[in-house]
Amino acid sequence: MAFGVYVHIPFCAQRCDYCDFATWTDRAHLVEAYVHACVADAGRRYARDDHPPATSVFFGGGTPSLLDADLLLRILDAVPRTDEAEVTVECNPDSVDASKLAAYRRGGVTRLSFGVQSMVPHVLRALGRTHDPANVTRAVAAAREAGFGTFNLDLIYGAAGEAFDDWRRTLDLALALEPPHVSCYALTVEAGTRLAVRVASGETASPDDDDQARKYEVADDTLAAAGLGWYEISNWARPGHECRHNLLYWSGGDYLGIGCAAHGSVDGSRWWTVRTPERYMAALRNGRDPAAGSEVLEPSAAAGERLMLALRTRTGAEVPPAARVVGDDAAAAGLATWSGGRLVLTRQGRLLASDLTVNMLAALEAPPGD
């Protein structure tokens, strides 16, 4: 049975303008103590509960690659995992080199995810990123030299000043590195970020929906032509290189969350830990559970969530009878197809997935007879 472990590393050298994650740029002095707390938390959870060995481990953040390899691997070693477990580390191209990646590989890391975002310098500046495209090329070369057979390139489209040709250039230069996996995300404006402040003041234009839709379409065409098929709305991969950890999320599987601001979900119960590294470390140091809250979803809510997540994937979703008319309407409109009793979104449907999901959930929640 698939079982995942997510580890949150909340440290960054610089916060990106669009980022609203639980990350800090002024906590480097806490790194070693934080690692110790994560190790203690993993040990506590496995000692207390009968969790299976992890089939996937994902280090996210923040910037996990800011940690020295021995510190990151100290956390990994505290997580029981299967022999064939997928272990992913998110990396900033600026904070990795050949020796660090080689140490990761020797220590059991199997997969890397590089935060590229763009291969065009002025677009990187608009996003508040610090690296340059040459660093991406060096990082990918170092990954291959270290023996990594699979890795991901994260891209973002829709930044202010990003021309259509800029996005094409990013796709072309990214594909020139022959990645087995690419993720493409539409830029969103999150409250409390520097980007949100600039948009609110009129300094920066808000992302344009039509522009982003057109860029999604060209990404889908370009990646497919290069042999990377879509398997989730924002993710494309060569066969066999799909991210198993993310597939676990999208299929509603169980996983632990280690670190501050991490979420976990096991047997229908989910929880989230305290947001700051200081509070997380203090809880572990004093023998307290670092959870900030928990919930058990009602069966109807859980079913709706499974439907929402499954609709995002290439295998589609089983649609309950109450929402089948919405699925039939979507198919008639060219937004989806029925395949083996499951509703699978077309590309046009993927662009409208949020609206379609809202309509389906509304149908599920409507009183009988409405």
Mean pLDDT value across the chain: 95
Q: What is the pLDDT of residue 128?
A: 87
Could you list the beta-strand ranges (E) of 168-210: 181-186
Using CA atoms of 277, 283, 285, 287 in order, give the dihedral in degrees to the nearest 10. Answer: -160
Report d(CA 117, CA 101) in Å as an integer: 20
Answer positive or negative: Cα dihedral of 163, 167, 168, 174. positive
Report d(CA 130, CA 94) in Å as an integer: 8
Ordered domains of the chain (ranges, CATH): 3-249 (3.20.20.70), 299-365 (no CATH)
CA neighbor of 17 nearest in space, from 189, 236, 237, 210: 189
Which amino acid is located at 89 in the chain? V
Q: What is the pLDDT of residue 368?
A: 66
Q: What is the pLDDT of residue 226?
A: 98
What is the distance in angstroms between the CA of the first residue and the CA of the last residue of the chain? 40
Mean pLDDT by 10 residues, the chain (370 residues): 96 91 94 98 93 97 96 98 98 95 98 97 90 93 98 97 97 98 97 94 95 98 98 98 97 96 95 98 96 93 92 96 95 97 97 95 79
Percent composition of the chain: helix, strand, coil (DSSP 3-state, to 5): 45, 25, 35
Q: What is the pLDDT of residue 1?
A: 85
Within 10 A of 293 (CB to CB), how many other CB atoms are there? 9
Supply the pTM of this predicted model: 0.96
